[in-house]
Each structure stands twice: as C-alpha cells, then as structure tokens.
Amino acid sequence: MNKSIVSVRFAGIFSEIGVGFTLGVGLTPLALVGCQDKPVPGDDTADADTDTDADTDTDADTDTACVPNGFSATAEDFLLPTAFSDDVYPDHALQTASGSRVCASGTGGYVWSRSDLDGDGVEDLIVHYDSCGSDSTLGASHWSVALAGGDPAALVAWALPSAFASGSYAANALNGASGTRTFGSCGYVWSLNDVSGDGRPDLVLPYDTCGDTPNVGATTWEVYENTGAGFADTATEWTLPAAFAAAPYPGAALNSLAGTRTAGSCGYVWTTTDMDGDARPDLVLPYDTCGGTGVGTDSWTVYPNTGVGFAAAATAYALPAYDPARYPATPFNNTSGTRTCPDSATSFSWALSDLNGDARPDLVVPFDTCGTETGVGTSSWRVHLNGAAGFGAAQAFTLPSAFAASPYPADALYALSGTRTCNTAEGYVWSTQDLTGDGLADLVVPYDTCGAALEPGSRFWKLYAGTGASFEDTESQWALPLAFTGGAYPSAPLNGTSGSRTCTNTGYYTWQTADESGDGVPDLLLTVDTCAGDAGLGDSKWLKYTGGCW
Ligand SMILES: [Ca+2]
Ligand SMILES: [Ca+2]
Ligand SMILES: [Ca+2]
Ligand SMILES: [Ca+2]
C-alpha cells in the first residue's frame, strides 16, 4: 500500500474535521441519523408536532425503529479489578481481552480470558492462574472472576471441582480456559464449552488418564456442569457413540473437542458444532474412512446432542452433489477449507456460517473456479442453507456490486473475511459479522483505499447490511469515535474490526469489538493506548464506545 498517498488524503480530512466538519469538494458528508428523531415502535413518547396543528402528536406507533449505526462518540470507563494496578504486574497488565504474561519481576506469570461464565449474555473476566499476586491456589481450587454487572473492582472465587486440587493432577491443574497437560505418566485435556446448552459454559475433559474415570475419550467425556456460581464438584459422564470405543478407531478416539486423526490406513476429522440450532453442540464428522461411507462426499456424520451425551445413532447430514469430474472425491472433507480440483489449475473454498439468521450454520462457498458457475466471489457467494436433514440446493447470496469492478481484483470477496490489495496497489479489509444486532451477518469493510471517495477506517466503517439472502447493494456508514483521528495516531486508525497498531510516537493501541451489554450490538473496546490516550488503560480500566443508534 502506498502510505504517502493515504496519509495525504487523510490529512486533508483531518484538518477539516478541526474546523467543524466542512468537507472538501467531491466528498459526501456523513449522513448520521439522530436516534432521538426516530422513536422505537411501541414507545409511549409523544412525537414532535409534525402536522403543525399546535398539538403534540400522539405516538401512533408508526415510527421506524432506529437501526444501530455506529459507536458512541465518547467513551465510558470499563473498570478492571483493582488488583491489576499493583506493581507486581507489568504496565498495562490486561492489555488485551485474553492473554498470558510474565510478572513484573521477570519470573512467574498470569493467565486471563473472557467468557460468559454465568450465562447472562455478557462476557466476564476470568483469571485462571497468577503467581505474581498472592493467590497461589488459582487454577487448583478456583478461578477468580469479575462478573459483568457486578463490582468491577472485586474478584470473586469461581469454584473448580475439588479433584483438581489433589495430587492426581499437576499443580494449578486448570491454569487456563483450555489446555493440555501431562503429570508424571498421565495426561488430561480440558475446555470450556456449553455442552448442556443452558447458556453457561461447562468444564469438559475429553481426555483424562490422571483421574479415576476410565475410558475418557473412548466411551465418555467428563463434564463438570456450570452451576452459575462454579463448576459442579462431581463429573457427569457424557456418553459418546459406542462406535468410537472399537477398532478401527484408535484408543481414546475422541480425545479433544475437535481434531484430525489417523488409525492404520483410515482417518477421520471431528468437531463439536451445533448443527440443528438448538444451542447444544453436536458431534460432527465431515470426514471418516474408519467407520463411515461417503463421508465428505454424500454426507457428514452428525451425532445429535441429547443433553446428556451424543446420540448413539448417527444422522447422515446430506451434502450437495458436486461433479466428481470437476471436484475432489471428498469435496467437503472438513467444516472449512480450500482445495485444488483434479485439473490442478482450479480450486474452491468453503466454510460454515449462518447467513440467514436461523442459528443453523450454512455451507458457504465464497470461491469456486472448479465448477461451471462464474462470478463466485465476485457477484455472489454460493450458499447451501442448512435444512432439517442436510444442506440444500445452491442459492446465490448476492454481494454488493461495487466489488465486481476495478480497482477491486477478480474474485474480490473470495472468503468470508480477508485483507487484499487492489489493482491500484492499495488495499481493503472485510469481514462477515452482525454489527446491527438483528441476527443477520453483515459485510463490514473497515478499511478500503481502492477507490472510495470517502475512505473507511477513521470516521466510519463501510457496512453492507445482511438481508438473509444477500448483502445490501448500497453501503451505509457505521460511525467511529473521532478520538483516534490526528495526533500520534496513524491514518485510518481503526482499519480492522480488531487490531493493535503502533503510533507515530513510540506508543501503541489495541482495540476489539465485543457486545458488552447483551443487546446483540457489538461495542468497541480500547484495551491499551499509550499513543496519546489515557496511560492507565490496561491497568485500572479499558474504554468502551457503545454500539447503538446515535
Ligand atoms: Ca456474564
Ligand atoms: Ca452449560
Ligand atoms: Ca444441536
Ligand atoms: Ca442458517
């Protein structure tokens, strides 16, 4: 990308922002709709006197709902537990939403992550391990948690099953949100996953030769259910389909929540994904030559989640028929991938993503030069909607027409998200996520210097709203806070939906999107900023710019 051209373009806009948003000739002003002018249907607020009869009109509930259109212009403090301001931690101790770091002393460390432990729809902050502070039992008897909505300054204990505090497991046995550890001659694997489907992630051990339960990973997984205040002290034995306990599958055949293994001359791929939209993850095998027939070609093997295990009997989840003369023999041999076709010159990609908002992941082919259809990745994505027993016939999910013309390259949107250069050597960034909170995936373009008159990344992101059958052809603008424009910040300061960048001084800043209110609209979190911003970020607080209607 030609940095000098970009900075010159943005310098013009920045200088004009300073004198009251007067934009130069040829630039279209932002049309940010004031939310206060558009009451939500069903409210009981009187409208303005629009018919000028000197009466304030009664709200007849005919108003259009305000569609979320950006992040708030000003930030709120997002307070962090006070412990992390202590000198035993490095500066900006929590500089990212999840991570692990070494203590200020240079030895020892701490591990933290975010997950909605109590199931209220907002992620909580969890400290899994910490040898910098005074709590040496973290990861053994409990994790420390700052629950969203609770006292942000305080950490409360989240109980771990007592078995993990005993000598059967390694010290600080559960020292992260997930992990694989050995202890002497035994080993274990753990993850957080809501296998019970009640909205609260459970502690799942798909492999464990350290504890008392035999055959974990072959006949059962150990599940410590989330009670809302900790994990149950006793494991529930989560039933696995009987087929996996016998040859030709290897011992502990399902020794992780997802994986790829071979056994002799056969092999299989499995993952834990909710295929039928009941919020309970199912066991899915997109490839299996050990126990299945036509898996990856005709169907995927799905063992539905029964709430206490995976069903004993598999459902064959139908795949669309792809011409074996043009595509590999097992075209969909994983839940996502890119493959070369038999002619060695063409290829195609696929992924699982719910594009029509029914909570069932759809099979999306965003790129395909193997088949006879043209325009995949340019004018449309091919979608096979997830139905009752499999993926349906091909449908064209229409892409915004702007991406079909130069200076965008051929197959401009060849994946669900990506970063590419355009024909003019500049570039663009796109992703597929629901910004507007209606449950439909939107096309978000946080950076684009390929020809737009007004470029995203500093004042707005380009948004092509998802309709469930397409992305709208007309772009709208998702407003960004102006706090990052000018000063020591680079041009297009928010050039991704998350990122970390250096400033023109020695500083750096890190941002991400996450829904901090549970309304389905992502908020913008600034977790560290040493460029020109608040030096305390990452120690005592983060900053939150609320996503909504402004
Ligand atoms: Ca929560
Ligand atoms: Ca659960
Ligand atoms: Ca399910
Ligand atoms: Ca769907």
| pLDDT single digits (tens) 469-491 | 999 999 999 999 999 998 999 99
Tokens 């036509």: give the residue.
294
pLDDT confidence of residue 424: 85
More confident residue, 53 or 353: 353
In this model, does residue 281 exceed pLDDT 80?
yes
pLDDT confidence of residue 334: 98
In this model, does residue 244 exceed pLDDT 90?
yes
Q: Report which bound ligand comes closest to the CA of 356.
A: 4
Range name among 36-45, 105-114, 169-178, 412-421 with the lowest pLDDT average: 36-45
CA of 337 to the centre of ligand 3 (A): 22
CA of 147 to the centre of ligand 1 (A): 6
Q: By C-alpha distance, which of 492, 471, 523, 353 is closest to 428? A: 492
Tokens 């915004």: give the residue.
400
Give the confidence band of 44 by pLDDT, cuts at 50, 70, 90. very low
CA of 8 to the centre of ligand 3 (A): 52
More confident residue, 17 or 36: 36
Mean pLDDT of the chain: 89
Could you tell me which residues come within 8 angstroms of residue 20 by beta carbon, excluding any fewer than 6 positions away? none
Q: What is the mean pLDDT of residues 523-544?
A: 94
In this model, does residue 333 exceed pLDDT 90?
yes
- Give the C-alpha separation, 355 to 353, whole Å: 6
CA of 150 to the centre of ligand 1 (A): 9
- Give the C-alpha separation, 154 to 159, whole Å: 16
Q: What is the mean pLDDT of residues 415-428?
A: 93
In this model, does residue 220 exceed pLDDT 90?
yes
The pTM score is 0.88
- Give the C-alpha separation, 154 to 124, whole Å: 12
pLDDT confidence of residue 453: 75
Q: What is the mean pLDDT of residues 335-347?
A: 98
Handedness of CA 434, 435, 440, 444 (dihedral sign): negative
Q: What is the mean pLDDT of residues 215-238?
A: 97
Q: By C-alpha distance, which of 215, 238, 239, 240 is closest to 225? A: 238
Q: What is the mean pLDDT of residues 358-382?
A: 98
pLDDT confidence of residue 30: 36
User: Are 157 and 137 within 8 A, CB to CB?
Assistant: no
Stretch (H or E) spanning 307: none
User: Are 299 and 390 within 8 A, CB to CB?
Assistant: yes
- Give per-residue burial for 200-217: e unless 16+ CB within 10 Å, then b: bbbbbbbbbbbbebeebb
In this model, does residue 508 exceed pLDDT 70?
yes
Q: Residue 493 corresponds to which tokens in the numbers above?
A: 């300061």
CA of 122 to the centre of ligand 1 (A): 4
Give residue-wise pLDDT tens across range 53-111. 665 555 554 556 789 999 999 999 999 999 999 999 999 999 999 999 999 999 999 99
Range name among 51-65, 171-185, 195-209, 307-321 with the lowest pLDDT average: 51-65
* Angle value at C-alpha 433, between 450 and 543, nearest 5 degrees: 90
pLDDT confidence of residue 425: 79
Q: Residue 228 corresponds to which tokens in the numbers above?
A: 């809302």
CA of 360 to the centre of ligand 3 (A): 9
For the stretch 413-417, contacts whose Cβ atoms lie closer than 8 Å and that sit 24 or more positions apart, written own/partner, are 413/366, 413/377, 413/378, 413/381, 413/443, 414/349, 414/366, 414/367, 414/377, 415/349, 415/351, 415/366, 415/367, 415/377, 416/351, 416/353, 416/364, 416/366
CA of 330 to the centre of ligand 4 (A): 23
In this model, does residue 298 exceed pLDDT 90?
yes
CA of 204 to the centre of ligand 2 (A): 10
CA of 506 to the centre of ligand 4 (A): 45
- Give per-residue burial for 225-254: e unless 16+ CB within 10 Å, then b: bbeeebbeeebbebbbbebbbeeebbebbb
CA of 541 to the centre of ligand 3 (A): 37
First to last CA, the chain: 33
pLDDT confidence of residue 47: 53
More confident residue, 316 or 32: 316
CA of 277 to the centre of ligand 4 (A): 8
